[in-house]
């Protein structure tokens, strides 16, 4: 049985105290998807996911999300992740407050 090839991913979760969507960056957690660490190696992604999941004092719901990379910037490939990246749908709050 052939296995689906590994595609680029980022690690995402929700900040434990604020509930905001966060992404794992090389130097810690960020709320900006553009700063997220893009993982292209499956074994590395698995290890980073284990490390991120161990930070239960900071984040909850840790998982890998598929992305594409354009001009060095990750972009979600799924509607759910695109929605999470832009924040609440209420423009008076969160990431869309200044739109």
| Domain extent listing, the chain | 9-88
Query: How would you write the pLDDT of the chain (99 residues) with one tens digit per residue?
Result: 668 899 999 999 999 998 889 999 999 999 999 999 999 999 999 999 999 999 999 999 999 999 999 999 999 999 888 888 876 655 565 565 655
Pairing of strands 73-76, 28-30: unpaired
Cα–Cα distance list, 74 to 10, 54, 65 (Å)? 8, 24, 11
User: What is the spatial distance between Cα 48 and Cα 35, in angstroms, rounded to a whole number?
Assistant: 16
Instruction: Quote the pLDDT of residue 95.
Output: 61
SS3 of 84, please?
A: helix
Instruction: Quote the pLDDT of residue 8.
Output: 97
pTM equals: 0.84
């Amino acid at each position: 049985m052939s296995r689906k090839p590994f595609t680029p991913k980022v690690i995402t979760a929700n900040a434990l105290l604020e509930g905001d969507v966060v992404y794992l960056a090389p130097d810690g957690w960020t709320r900006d998807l553009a700063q997220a660490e893009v993982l292209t190696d499956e074994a590395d992604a698995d290890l980073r996911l284990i490390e991120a999941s161990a930070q239960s004092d900071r984040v909850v719901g840790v998982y890998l999300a598929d992305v594409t990379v354009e001009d060095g910037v990750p972009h979600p490939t799924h509607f759910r992740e695109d929605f999470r990246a832009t924040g609440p749908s209420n423009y008076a709050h969160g990431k869309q407050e200044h739109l």
